[in-house]
Amino acid sequence: MAWERKLMRTVRVRNRQARGVLAQLLAVISDADGNVGSVAMLNETSQSVTRDLSIYAEDEAHVERILAAMRANEGTTVLQVRDEVLELHQKGKIAIRSRFPIDSLSTLRRVYTPGVADVCRKISVDPSLAWTYTSISHMVAIVTDGTAVLGLGDIGPLAGMPVMEGKAMLMETLVGLSGVPILLNTKDPEEIISAVKAIAPTFAAIQLEDISAPRCFEIEEKLQAALDIPVMHDDQHGTAVVAMAALLVAARETKRDLGRAVIGQVGLGAAGNAIGKMLMRLTGNPLYGTDLAREAVARFEGAGGRGATLDEILAECDIVIATTGAAGLIKPEKVRKGQIILALSNPNAEIDPDAALAAGAAFAADGKSVNNVLGFPGIFRGAVDARAPRITHEMLVAAAETIAAMTPPGELAPNPLEKNVHRAVARSVAETAFKQGLARAEYVAYVED
């Protein structure tokens, strides 16, 4: 059964100490179309064995079917069912911490009054000193209105907060930036622009997140024109960077010349439009593009693309990239032998990579392996370190080429938790800013761990 494993539960069971009980338990889980992840033994006696099993299911109803099968297994008692994802999110995933312990009056007087007044006076005379003497130099606003969260759509800013926290965690963990979620309770583009402009002095950069198209285009464009710090809508350009990196890897693995390949983009929302424009600038050739919204196709054609239908793209293109959010949109029988297929929608791809490969694709990947986490941390780190006023096309291309170069042979993408990958991306972005004459930092040194 080919379903996306959306839900994980940790089930604590006590099995009778007898041969075959665990094996039979695993079999009944499999018979219920469940998947088992980790199995951890917690306690063993002469009578029983207690274990935690991670099970994966399609939805809540599927979880209940699996649990019913486990409870019916002879010799098994289900003791507890835990949702570790929810447990991990309790009280949020991020917090603001002091960098220095305040453990004496002397320290208090230096970090707060009266010592802090001297720092304030210096910054009032020379505002550029705020970059040196405050946290602004590593603060990034992660701004959303909650209108395009994951594949969930318009669920509102509050429901989008767990995603914003996750972005902040990744920024801090991977590149040492302090991401601050900003939830805006408005969908009006002008109100969003005004709000971000008003809070911008706090931050070194602005990451726009999960804002629906076509509003996101106007919001990003006007904010970048108004502010002297980088503004990037991650759903557009972060996705475009990792998609381009994956395509460079695919071309390398299949020995395909991208300059001669016919490329089609299925879905022309925030991500698809940015991917298409980036690849057209890279290859110098128009891309085929399709979308259910006629205005999206018109926008793409205005940028140099060529409108097409889904069937035309699948029939004529050597490379197909899909960002529609429509699971199962690409049928295996439509895949042509030797095609490269990047079905990037999350949580469910337009076609499962294994199904695409079985149908004859030379290379296939989905949004789990081609994920924005490979792009945005290093892109922002490099732009902030160089003190660039904006993130350019050339900086994005440098990031994509670096990600592709860091991908081991035979792999789809680098390990997203390898910090050396993000440092390399940051370095390439900063170096490009210097080459373009955009850097306002005198020098950026990246030291390997």
Q: Which domains, and CATH codes, for the chain?
A: 7-86 (3.30.70.260), 130-229 (3.40.50.10380), 247-449 (3.40.50.720)
Q: Which of 56, 91, 93, 167 is catalytic?
A: 167
DSSP letter for each residue of 143-176: EE-SSSBTTTBS--HHHHHHHHHHHHHHHHHHH-
- Strand locations in 158-302, DSSP E? 178-183, 205-208, 231-233, 263-266, 288-290
Strand-pair partners of 16? 48
> Which residue's entry shows tokens 């209108």?
147
Q: Which of 91, 93, 112, 337 is catalytic?
A: 112
Bridge-based pairing of strands 319-322 and 340-343 is: parallel
Residues 6+ apart with CB under 8 A from 20: none
- 210 Rama sector, left if φ>0, alpha if ψ -120 to 50, beta otherwise: left
pLDDT values of the chain reduced to their tens digit, one per residue, 449 residues: 334 457 899 999 999 999 889 999 999 999 999 999 999 999 999 899 999 999 999 889 999 999 999 999 999 999 999 988 888 888 888 788 888 888 899 888 888 888 889 999 999 999 999 999 999 999 999 999 999 988 788 999 999 999 999 999 999 999 999 999 999 999 999 999 999 999 999 999 999 999 998 999 999 999 999 999 999 999 999 999 999 999 999 899 888 898 899 999 999 999 999 999 999 998 999 999 999 999 999 999 999 999 999 999 999 999 999 999 888 899 999 999 999 999 988 778 899 999 999 999 999 988 887 888 999 999 999 999 999 999 999 999 999 999 999 999 888 889 999 999 999 999 999 999 999 999 998 877 765 54
Catalytic residue list contains 133: no
Q: What is the predicted pLDDT for the residue at 369? A: 78
Number of Cβ within 10 Å of residue 142's Cβ equals: 26
Q: Quick check: 422 and 448 in contact, CB under 8 A? A: no
Please state the separation of Cα 11 from the chain's center in Å. Answer: 29
Pseudo-torsion of CA 393, 399, 402, 407, nearest 10°?
-120
Instruction: Read off the tokens for 433.
Output: 């800013």
Question: For residue 10, what is the enclosing H or E element?
Answer: strand 7-16
Catalytic residue list contains 112: yes
- Strand locations in 267-425, DSSP E? 288-290, 306-307, 319-322, 340-343, 363-366
Q: Quick check: 141 and 195 in contact, CB under 8 A? A: no
Q: Is the peptide bond before 162 cis (omega within 30 degrees of 0)?
A: no
User: Cα–Cα distances in Å, from 225 out to 193, 204, 389, 433?
Assistant: 11, 15, 10, 18
